[in-house]
Amino acid sequence: MKATISHNSQTFQIDFSKPLDISITLSNTDENPIAWYIEKPVIEPVVFGDWIGKVSEGKSSTNFNNIFFNPHGHGTHTECLGHITKEFYSINQSLKTFFFLAELVSVEPEMQGEDSVITKEQIKKAVNGKTPEAIVIRTLPNEKEKLSRKYSNTNPPYLDEKASEFIRESGIKHLLIDLPSVDKEHDEGKLLAHKAFWNVKDVNVLNDDARLDATITEMIFVKDEIQDGIYLLNLQIASFENDASPSKPVLYQIL
């Protein structure tokens, strides 16, 4: 279905019948990606005595599963600044609109000692003076193993503090990346890229200019056939009153 839409005083034509899903499926299999030292998700039927909530077991007319997962460690998720603050903030209260113009960029992190880092200079070059509402960062090489990678204790690439600060200063409100975190895995709790993006100066007492309506989405996957450029982003979350929610970001090509 093609439609003409107006967004921020601009008019675009979008084919909504051709979504480009950049989320990772959550499952209870060994194929599920994992970060932060936890086990795979659990999806299992409810059991009450000899009653099992699974149609194939012949004891129920419905499938009735419990799901145990961690949004930060088990797949694509979107988080608000409540992820790092003493005071509670909910992604469900922070994200109130869901369509944004997004720039997809591909970046190969640079080696700095033993770390693989995305720098300010790389982001600045990739954005090339544009000021989109959202940025989608695809790291290179773009292996399909990202869909099932076990990230714990592997020191994945991360975003340099200055790069995160540049993204904030560019006015970009929504940052999406195909890594388990914008920060270094073992960073002594500094969380420099998170703090720079949300402009959080003190996690104990929130400054007035902290970005309550800005979000970070981690552990996405952007297929190689999706070319760099500008897209319409639909950032979908579940209505959890939590710092983060599993999410389903979807890109639409602008015709």
Residue 1: count other Cβ atoms within 10 Å of its Cβ: 7
pLDDT computed for residue 55 by the predictor = 97
Is it true that domain 2-27+71-253 has CATH number 3.50.30.50?
Answer: yes
| pLDDT for res 145 | 98
| pLDDT tens digits along 173-193 | 999 999 999 999 999 999 999
Cis bond upstream, residue 141 (ω within 30): yes
Q: Residue ranges of the domains in the chain?
A: 2-27+71-253
pTM, whole model, 2 decimals? 0.96
pLDDT of 3: 82
Residue 143 one-letter amino acid: E
Extract long-range pairs of 90-94: CB within 8 Å, 24+ residues apart: 90/240, 90/241, 90/242, 90/243, 91/215, 91/237, 91/240, 91/242, 91/243, 91/244, 91/245, 92/237, 92/239, 92/240, 92/241, 92/242, 92/245, 93/241, 94/212, 94/213, 94/214, 94/215
Q: What is the pLDDT of residue 121?
A: 98
Calpha distance 190→166 (Å, rounded): 18
Q: What is the pLDDT of residue 7?
A: 75
Name the stretches of the chain with pLDDT < 70.
none
